[in-house]
Amino acid sequence: MTQSFRMKPPMGEDNGWWWQQAAEGNLAIQRCTACSTLRHPPRPMCGECQSLEWDHVVASGRGTLDSFTILHHPQFPGFDYPLIIILVQLEEGTRITSQLINCSEDTVEFGMPVEMVMHEDPDGFRLPMFQPVRGANA
Amino acid sequence: MSHFLKNKAAIAGIGLTEFSKKSGVSELSLAAQATLAACQDAGLHPSAIDGFVSYTLDSTDEIELARAVGAGDLKLFTKVNYGGGAAVGTILHAVMAVATGVADNVICYRAMNGRSGQRMGQGISGQIVSSDLVHWSWYMPYGMLTPGSWIAMIANKYMQHYGVTAEDLGRVAISQRNYAQSNPRSFFHGKPLTMEDYLASKMIADPLRLYDFCQETDGGCAILVTSAERARDLQQKPAIIRGVVQASTRGQEQMTSYYRDELDSLPEMEMAARLVYEQSGLGPNDINAACLYDAFTSEVIMQLESFGFCGRGEGKDMVREGALDIDGRLPNNTHGGLLSEAYIHGMNSIAEGARLVRGTSTSQPEGVEHVLVSSGVGVPTGALILGRD
């Protein structure tokens, strides 16, 4: 297996399942089975109704850019700079922090529609990234 | 009804080490030097110290420091979490102890080889799965490894929403750099900043440039808190603690509160403002000078709104009017701040707050009655109001 530059998330009880879903190609959103509130990032208890019971839904992967930053420095090995980091408002209503790919830094803008692409590192680790929706606001 | 903590305690001593990029001594040594300096400033022997409060990020444990300086028996030893968010929180813990009689003379300290030793934003890694590590792991795999990257996401949204420009951020950097010119402790002493220099500085995490970032510093700072009554018998003019609070809001994360309804305000700072004004019985109109936490320039502009010095989106207008300068409405970070003096995690800004009340700042505005000091931005935080006796 190829050694990867990427800092891997520790896989605990509260978050490991989400990365397992990503490994299977899914962008998951945790859902409280008692009150149906969606939450991200995952937590063991529902802050709305205090239920410990949850399942998840698979997100459509579509959303819009709520905010972004373009990272130039410091440059960590393995990442491509400028690195566009985004905050996506998913159409299901939760937000997720991720990376925007297949987009130049000059064309990234607030509110742009994006869609999820499951990125796979050479060592097989998968994590959701996003790209501009093709043909959108053209 | 008067709040229980109001006017019960005071800052009676402040102590600093030299600030540098390479101290050549241990962090324990810096903490001990700062503590001794605070005791000497107050005119109190270290053996009278019976409490220590610091940051969870500080490497020096309370009893190590107690042995080093020859402190007495300790009745209070505690550390406050969340990086720079701990700053005035340490004062709150000291004030609670002093006001309740738990301890008499408490040292709050922060000592760090922040440049030559462990630098901030070097990332984390480890085998233990704690809730804190899981938190950071939503960001670090994507290359968001530094405080600048976390803060830029909020700064960009805020600036876009309210039309805040690069020049506005530059104005904050320049105002504080100007103060640094009269402060020999300041890293940027003798190095003024022009708007041209600012705009030409390296883009780090768009929209934040190099000069939007604070320093990395080796140094220590200690604050001696005692009862207002005892402080009056010591050798410095006391800085009376009118109000001091901690604040963390619903949906709070460390640095990355990206999932709350609003992304272009600081809910925890608004909460700190509400609480500290309530406790002190004061309002924004009573505040004559401030040390608003400034790890990044954007945070200063946002806090002007959080603390009610202007309305939402009007922070930039205050900055354009020169409000933060020595002759402005709210002289801010008159020591140069974390941007231009040194980054001692906000402890050095509490020291400046005490100086402003004493009338001994190297850039002392006229007629300072009350000074506001805030803790770290984007993290669980706090606020402190100091007043003249």
pLDDT at A1: 45
**Residue B64 and residue B89 in contact, taking contact as beta carbons nearer than 8 Å:** no
> What is the average per-residue pLDDT within A111-126?
97
Interchain contact, B143 vs A70, CB within 8 Å: no
Please state, in angstroms and as integers, the Cα–Cα distance from residue B178 to each residue in B136, B193, B337, following that order: 36, 8, 11
Nearest to A10 among B129, B154, B207 (CB): B129
Rounded to two decimals, the pTM is 0.94
Q: What is the pLDDT of residue B385?
A: 98
- Which among B126, B155, B160 has CB closest to A110? B160
Phi, psi of B107 (to 5 degrees): -100, 125
* Chain A residue with minimum CA distance to B123: A7
d(CA B258, CA B139): 11
**d(CA B117, nearest CA chain A) in Å:** 18
Q: pLDDT digit string (tens) for B67-89?
A: 999 998 999 999 999 999 999 99
Residues of B in contact with A69 (CB under 8 A): 149, 152-153, 155-156, 205-208
Between chain A and chain B, the number of residue pairs with CB atoms below 8 A apart is 110
Return mean pLDDT, chain B. Answer: 95
Residue B370 bridge partners (DSSP): B387
- Residue of A101, A99, A40 lying closest to B251 (CA atoms): A40
Residues of B in contact with A47 (CB under 8 A): 250
Condensed to tens digits (0 to 9), the pLDDT of residues B46-72 reads 999 999 999 999 999 999 999 999 998
- Known catalytic residues of B are 293, 343
Nearest-CA distance A92 → chain B (Å) = 13
Specify the amino acid at residue B198. Y
Question: Which of A68, A69, A73 minimizes the C-alpha distance to A112?
Answer: A68
Residue labelled with tokens 């500080």 = B58
- Which of B139, B206, B209, B255 is the best substitution to test chain A (most A C-beta atoms within 10 A)? B206
Token couple for A76: 């960590």
- Each domain of chain B, given as residue ranges in start order, spans 9-117+213-388
CATH number assigned to the domain covering B9-117+213-388: 3.40.47.10
**Nearest CB to B258 within list A11, A70, A95:** A95
pLDDT single digits (tens) B268-325: 999 999 999 999 999 999 999 999 999 999 999 999 999 999 999 999 999 999 999 9
| CB contact at 8 A, A57 and A93 | no
Taking any CB pair shorter than 8 Å as contact, residues of chain B touching chain A are: 123-129, 131, 133-135, 137-146, 149, 152-157, 160, 202-208, 250, 256, 258-259, 263
Mutate to test the interface with B, among A14, A46, A71 (most CBs of B within 10 A): A71
> What CATH topology corresponds to A60-138?
OB fold (Dihydrolipoamide Acetyltransferase, E2P) (2.40.50)
Q: List C-alpha distances in Å: B126 to A53, A127, B133, B152.
A: 29, 20, 8, 26
DSSP annotation string for A35-75 = T--EESS--SS-TTT----EEEEE---EEEEEEEEEE-SSP
Q: Tokens 């400046």 appear where?
A: B352
Q: Give the residue extent of every domain in chain A.
A: 13-58, 60-138
| Option in B131, B143, B258 nearest A76 (CB) | B143
- Residues from chain B that touch A12, judged by Cβ atoms under 8 A, are 129, 134
Q: What is the ipTM of this complex?
A: 0.89
Is B84 within 8 Å of B379 (Cβ atoms)?
yes
Residue A138: pLDDT band by 50, 70, 90 thresholds?
very low
What gap in Å lies between CA B15 and CA B49, rounded to an integer? 14
